[in-house]
Chain A
């Protein structure tokens, strides 16, 4: 026997957390590509569904809220929001990204149970790949949003564009953190994915996607409004409004106070704490995935 002894003795099955992700970037790429290929298999519209679904959703909300409930500013309704369509859609795309990312990440471990039971690989890959796939689906919606913005007379400056990146990062980190947490918990209790569905329904209405933040402040008062603002998704949506909607208006609309001096860092910090907690929980629980699935 002439085998060369390569490497030191290592303990198998102990994941290195996010460090593994860098080493497995090729596998991550393939998993994302697989999801994208498989998602709309056998459908005639294919990837077009990524446009059709948010498009219909947008029209429904716009007609119901903007026209019927009078959120759109018009001659008869001077208190409404100008360019309500852009306002609405810039929030919807971000919420859609969050919903899809978290919903799929929470199910990713159970759905890939067959693989996890048999072969060792960094299991963080599955929730992270889900978030990644959602980011890819987010992109066409962003393109539609930008086209809409340009038609509405969009003239952003560099700082406003950076605000959009910040908003996306906050929501992306939050979705990854919660995805790891609920994905791991789902192995033990399938209640987890139902809890996530409920959470996502609340998330859509718990941030100023459909309505204006001023309505919340006038009804809730300053104490509860602070709590409302501490939601990272709220901060993300407001940053998106600042980046996409605000530059299409005449600038008379008020942005939430202290958005950049206070809420952006707070939102980012909360998201990163959730991400760290999610990762910690995931590592605690992943050792028993194979036998619980």
Chain B
């Protein structure tokens, strides 16, 4: 089986810049350059991760352990300081749904805009438009401006677009808590269906019971290091202990 994602020895350092104004820089110089103007923060340290096509992987860890940063490297939003990231096929993120939504556009316009942002072609969106609307349960409100939607409707439509993009690799970051319970169940069923179809899934979530149901493999991160990589049940129990 070929790898869908190959992350080799990547490191990422963030500069937490406190100031950018000339005034503070001058004060810093006058005071004899005491202290550092910027603080550095190691988000990922020499992380490697190979994911085979069709695998379902959960990235686990406490807040600030580097899960989302790793996901951003896989999607290409960020580039590593060192090491390399390779992916095979189209990668799409269900990362914070609705990021590309504009409140003043109608639901219909937003479906097209967001679909294109997530990498769909015009033809694909035309073909899937009805399926997207049906899945979202928006119905007649599709031509209403999105700013008049309830937050549940908004999330349902956004999730529906994302889930219909049909990439080879799915990146999912903390978005499984959308809508009311019936819709949430529907989302999870849809994600499981994708997994069964042989799509590669990488999930970031703090809902341990949920990821245990969806994913087979768990990767535990702590302070930017991979602490554990193996079956999901072991990863979850290690995180809980």
Are B53 and A3 interface neighbours, CB within 8 A? yes
B109 at the interface (CB under 8 A from A): yes
B104 at the interface (CB under 8 A from A): yes
**What mask results when residues 132 to 152 of chain A are scored 1 for a CB within 8 Å of chain B, else 0?**
000000000000000000000
**What mask results when residues 1 to 13 of chain A are scored 1 for a CB within 8 Å of chain B, else 0?**
1110111111111
A282 to chain B, nearest CB (A): 14
Q: Known contacts being A11-B85, A119-B117, is A3 close to B77, with CB within 8 Å?
A: no
Identify B53's interface contact among A5, A12, A287, CB under 8 A: A5
A27 at the interface (CB under 8 A from B): yes
Identify A34's interface contact among B74, B84, B109, B197, CB under 8 A: B109
Q: Which chain A residues border B164 with CB–CB below 8 Å? A: none
B141 at the interface (CB under 8 A from A): no
Are B113 and A117 interface neighbours, CB within 8 A? no
Q: Which chain A residues border B119 with CB–CB below 8 Å? A: 121
Are B99 and A118 interface neighbours, CB within 8 A? yes
A73 to chain B, nearest CB (A): 48
Identify B77's interface contact among A24, A26, A117, CB under 8 A: A117
Measured CA separation A34–B101 after assembly (Å): 11
A252 at the interface (CB under 8 A from B): no
**What mask results when residues 83 to 114 of chain B are scored 1 for a CB within 8 Å of chain A, else 0?**
01111111101011001101011000100110
Q: Which of A116, A120, A189 has the most CB of B within 10 A?
A: A120
Measured CA separation A114–B95 after assembly (Å): 12
Identify B88's interface contact among A8, A24, A115, A119, CB under 8 A: A8
A216 at the interface (CB under 8 A from B): no
Are A37 and B104 interface neighbours, CB within 8 A? yes
Interfacial residues of chain B within 147-185, with CB under 8 A of chain A in the complex:
168
Identify B76's interface contact among A3, A9, A12, CB under 8 A: A12
Interfacial residues of chain A within 10-31, with CB under 8 A of chain B in the complex:
10-14, 24, 26-27, 30-31
A38 at the interface (CB under 8 A from B): yes
B208 at the interface (CB under 8 A from A): no
Measured CA separation A37–B112 after assembly (Å): 14
Identify B78's interface contact among A13, A34, A41, A115, CB under 8 A: A13
**What mask results when residues 211 to 255 of chain A are scored 1 for a CB within 8 Å of chain B, else 0?**
000000000000000000000000000000000000000000000
Measured CA separation A119–B175 after assembly (Å): 14
Measured CA separation A189–B22 after assembly (Å): 11
Q: Known contacts being A118-B93, A118-B99, is A5 close to B78, with CB within 8 Å?
A: no
Q: Known contacts being A26-B122, A119-B93, is A11 close to B75, with CB within 8 Å?
A: no
Closest to B162 in A: A119
Measured CA separation A26–B6 after assembly (Å): 30
**What mask results when residues 5 to 43 of chain B are scored 1 for a CB within 8 Å of chain A, else 0?**
010000000100000100000000000000000000000
Measured CA separation A116–B99 after assembly (Å): 9
Identify A13's interface contact among B3, B14, B76, B96, CB under 8 A: B76
Q: Which chain B residues border A115 with CB–CB below 8 Å? A: 99-100, 117
B47 at the interface (CB under 8 A from A): no
Q: Known contacts being A12-B91, A119-B118, A189-B20, is A3 close to B84, with CB within 8 Å?
A: no
Measured CA separation A115–B3 after assembly (Å): 28
Are A27 and B117 interface neighbours, CB within 8 A? yes
Q: Which chain B residues border A27 with CB–CB below 8 Å? A: 116-117
Identify B2's interface contact among A5, A37, A41, CB under 8 A: A5
Measured CA separation A116–B95 after assembly (Å): 12
Q: Known contacts being A13-B79, A290-B78, is A1 close to B54, with CB within 8 Å?
A: yes
Measured CA separation A7–B75 after assembly (Å): 16
B206 at the interface (CB under 8 A from A): no
Measured CA separation A145–B50 after assembly (Å): 61
B82 at the interface (CB under 8 A from A): no
Q: Which chain B residues border A37 with CB–CB below 8 Å? A: 104-105, 109
A135 to chain B, nearest CB (A): 20
Q: Which chain A residues border B87 with CB–CB below 8 Å? A: 9-12
Are A291 and B14 interface neighbours, CB within 8 A? yes
Are B88 and A3 interface neighbours, CB within 8 A? no
Q: Which chain B residues border A6 with CB–CB below 8 Å? A: 88-89, 168
Measured CA separation A26–B86 after assembly (Å): 26
Measured CA separation A13–B2 after assembly (Å): 21
Q: Which chain B residues border A12 with CB–CB below 8 Å? A: 73-76, 85, 87, 91
Q: Which chain A residues border B90 with CB–CB below 8 Å? A: 7
22 pairs, A vs B, C-beta closer than 8 Å? A1-B53, A1-B198, A3-B53, A3-B198, A6-B168, A7-B90, A11-B76, A13-B76, A26-B121, A26-B122, A30-B112, A34-B102, A34-B105, A37-B104, A114-B99, A118-B95, A119-B99, A120-B75, A121-B117, A121-B119, A189-B20, A290-B72
The 10 nearest A-B residue pairs measured at CB: A13-B76, A12-B76, A3-B198, A120-B76, A9-B86, A27-B116, A1-B54, A287-B79, A118-B99, A290-B77
